[in-house]
A and B are shown apart, each in its own frame.
Chain A
Amino acid sequence: MSASDVEAIRKQTRVYVGVFIALAIGTILTVAVSYLHMPVALAILIALTIASFKGSLVAAFFMHLSHERKVIYWLLLLTVVFFLALMFIPSLTQWNQRYVR
């Protein structure tokens, strides 16, 4: 391994510590916001936004998705499409109950 590779890994380890601090702050923030007793829709929006931000940090840095090969991105894109389809099923069911008799 070349000296520049070693330096790049060392730099990455400092980033990992930074990500950990951001994740810890995000966790505390999520809990703090939940004590504000906001309307349910707003509380869900805020909690899921923070969770998505935290999840993106884990995926981008710990799982190295910030610099991955194309094949992995395509695979994940396909996964996201199917995941979103799954998430829409509850809405479709409600629509079905409301309008289709």
Chain B
Amino acid sequence: MEIPYTVEARPDTGVPNAKLGVWLFLASEVMLFGALFSSYVLLRTGAAPGTWHHGREFLSVPLATLNTLILIASSVTMVMSWASLKLNNFKQYRVYMGLTILAGLGFMVVKAFEYGHKFELGLFPKSNTFLAIYFTLTGLHGLHVLGGMIVNGYFWGPGAKLWRTQPERFANRIEVAGLYWHFVDLVWIFLFPTLYLL
């Protein structure tokens, strides 16, 4: 069965189905991360005076700054990969998408290094409330990065076959995969100051 409105916009919504679908998914993601952010605020404001541990006591600001720069760079390469397809330059698309995946990998390596260091010091989610919410939020975010890398990896490799038969449909797929990837970047933009700096 043919999937409808993959290239042309659906008349009643004005957008292709995949785009609306991904935006609806992102709306649910806002609620997921929003609930955890809200929990973080509640736990922090509700803590007895002087008992709250701050991120700076345990976390590395330089490493997190590096990871922030890696993730925003990956957002640029992601949008550039889509623009390359729009310019009909598949080779350039492969380069930019490859760089996006590598940046995602770089982010995860830095994160793994950070986690490993905490565990070496005996710091676990059970150690205190701050670390519990830190591991929950960054762990969930890390899983999202991993998920994005799998999707991007598919579109870099086997999924790219679609370009030969339906180039516009493939470009739309990259656009909506990009929406997800930028959302993951956006979440990190808020996680970084709230967990590491404040």
Residues of A within 8 A of B (CB): 1, 5-6, 9-10, 12-13, 16-17, 19-20, 23-24, 27-28, 30-31, 34, 40, 43-44, 47-48, 50-51, 54-55, 58-59, 61-64, 69-72, 75-76, 78-79, 82-83, 86-87, 89-90, 93-94
Contact A90-B41, Cβ < 8 Å, known A69-B14, A71-B15: yes
Complex contact A34–B34 (CB within 8 A): no
B105 CB within 8 Å of chain A:
no
Contact of B88 among A1, A27, A55 (CB under 8 A): A1
Interchain Cβ contacts within 8 Å, total number? 132
Contact A23 B45 (CB under 8 A): no
Contact with A along B82-103 (1 / 0, CB 8 A): 0100111000000000000000
Residues from chain A with Cβ under 8 Å of B23 in the complex: 72, 75-76
Tell me whether A19 and B76 are in contact in the complex, defined as CB-CB below 8 angstroms, given that A72-B20, A86-B35, A87-B41 are known contacts: yes
Secondary structure of the B contact surface, majority rule: helix
Q: Which residues of the partner chain A approach B185 to less than 8 Å between Cβ atoms? A: 58, 62
How many chain B residues have a CB neighbour from A under 8 Å? 48
* A16 touching B86, Cβ below 8 Å: no
Task: Annotate B167-198 by CB proximity to A: 1 below 8 A, 0 otherwise.
Answer: 00000000100110011011001101110011
CB neighbours of B182 from chain A (8 A): 58-59, 62-63
